[in-house]
Amino acid sequence: MSSEALTIQPSFDPYEPGLSLDRINAHLPVHAAWLKGTVFGDMQSRIKGAGTDIDGIRPYEFGDDTRHIDWAATAKDENNWPQLREHYMDITPNLYVVSDILSPRNNTDTEQPHTKQSLGLAAILSVMNIANSTVMPSRLIATDGNRLIIPERSPRSGRHHLLNTANILSREALVSAPNEEKHTLADLLHFVGRSASRSVVLVVSDFRAESMSGQDEFNWGRALKSLKAKHNDILAVEITAPRDFHIQPNTSLFRHTGTNQVTPEYDKDLRREYALGAQKRQNRVDKALSDAQARHIKLSTSDPQWLTSFTSGLRSVQ
């Protein structure tokens, strides 16, 4: 086995937020050509104004900016009436980061190279750093299930903003939050929908807190479709662990007998049923994200080379 295969790429360590940020960014080619400009695709404004996008030529009207007169087109006009080349206004989209990865249920995969929480927080800071390098303002909207975590009133940019976010995530990750779900992922997405339009919405979650029973569609799926209807570009980063798909081999299973005696046994049928149910849920998550036209990247806590996989995923959703 090669030495690279044995290397565990860094995720987020809440005890060293600044160092974690530097280590993660050192593995991510922020300045690669495919990460230049708008990170997840061109965002075009439909608002007329000064900009580089051209919307065609029309006759000059009094009050128009004479700097936009196209003299070559004017020379071709039979009446020699000035012809104006219209432009769309340049806009810089905001990045809204939405996540429930701080929930205590995401900090239990200690037998894997990473926990869901450490991987999710690392993914958040990675994308925020990429956005920061392209001067795209960002804003965090998160929850630990019990409390809302919204440190900024509006999107901001700069190295200080990035470090401040890392420190906030570090502090929140070290807090022992109650294991309850007062605030859901759908709640966060509805909150973002009040202000996000023609922006980039990054959603980092395992997408598994919400029950499938009694409903045809996830609540967060409906919220994502509402965001898409407002011309937002959605990037969903799904964080999973092996236990999301299979009962782990070292897990003991018990069945109560008719005499109430508890006997351990390796129940292949139960394991198979669990795996089938897990795959059904995964299919529903995939469909919900596809229906919302979200760009979907999957990361696993069992992947030691997660940054390599993440970089490949970012490239593939361009």
Tens of pLDDT, residues 196-248: 988 999 999 999 988 776 677 899 999 999 999 999 999 999 999 999 999 88
Residues 71 and 7 in one domain: no
Same domain, 146 and 196: yes
Phi-psi region of 78 (alpha: psi -120 to 50; beta: other; left: phi over 0): alpha
Classify residue 63: in a domain, yes or no. yes
Q: Are residues 237 and 183 in the same domain?
A: yes
Up-side HSE of residue 228: CA atoms within 13 Å toward CB? Answer: 18
238 exposed, middle or buried (CB, 10 Å; 0-12, 13-18, 19+)? buried
Q: State the SS3 of 247-296.
A: CCCCCCCEEECCCCCEEECCCHHHHHHHHHHHHHHHHHHHHHHHHCCCEE
pTM across the whole model: 0.80
Comparing CA positions, the residue from 246, 232, 318 lying closest to residue 282 is: 246
Domain of residue 9 covers: 3-39+93-313
Instruction: Name the least confident of 8-12, 47-51, 214-218, 249-253.
Output: 47-51
Q: Are residues 168 and 35 in the same domain?
A: yes
Backbone phi, psi, residue 27, to 5°: -95, -10
Whether 45 is covered by a domain: the verdict is: no
Name the packing angle between helices 17-27 and 159-173 (round to 10°): 120
Residues 137 and 210 in one domain: yes
The reply to whether 66 and 167 lie within a common domain is no
Is 99 in the same domain as 214?
yes
Three-class secondary structure of residue 122 per DSSP: helix
Adjacent-strand bridge partners of 235: 202, 295
Q: Are residues 67 and 211 in the same domain?
A: no
Residue 178: pLDDT band (50, 70, 90) is: confident
Q: Could you tell me if residue 49 is inside a domain?
A: no
Q: What percent of the chain has pLDDT over 70?
A: 80
Is residue 68 one of the residues assigned to a domain? yes
Average pLDDT (145-160) is: 91
45-103 pLDDT, tens per residue? 343 444 434 446 778 887 777 877 888 888 887 777 888 876 554 456 899 999 999 99
For residue 116, what pLDDT is reported?
A: 96
Among 221, 191, 194, which residue's Cα sits nearest to residue 207?
221
Asked if 97 and 140 count as a contact pair (C-beta separation under 8 A), the reply is: yes
If asked whether residues 10 and 59 sit together in one domain, one would say no
pLDDT in tens, 117-128: 999 999 999 999
When divided into structural domains, the chain yields a total of: 2
Residue 318 included in any domain: no
The answer to whether residues 191 and 216 belong to one domain is yes
Which residues contact residue 207 at a Cβ distance below 8 angstroms, ignoring those fewer than 6 apart? Answer: 185, 218, 220, 236, 238, 285, 288, 289
Give the per-residue pLDDT at 88.
52
Domain identity same for 133 and 156: yes
Instruction: Kindly state whether residue 48 falls inside one of the protein's structural domains.
Output: no
∠ CA 116-99-167, rounded to 5°? 80
Task: Write down how long the chain is.
Answer: 318
65 and 163 fall within a common domain: no
Give the residues across from 233 on adjacent strands.
Answer: 200
46 in a structural domain = no
Where helices occur in 174-241 by DSSP H, the ranges are: 185-192, 219-229
Average pLDDT, the chain: 82
CATH number at residue 291: 3.40.50.410
Which alpha helices (DSSP H) does 134-218 contain, by range?
Answer: 159-173, 185-192
Spatial separation of the C-alpha atoms in residues 318 and 306, rounded to whole Å: 19
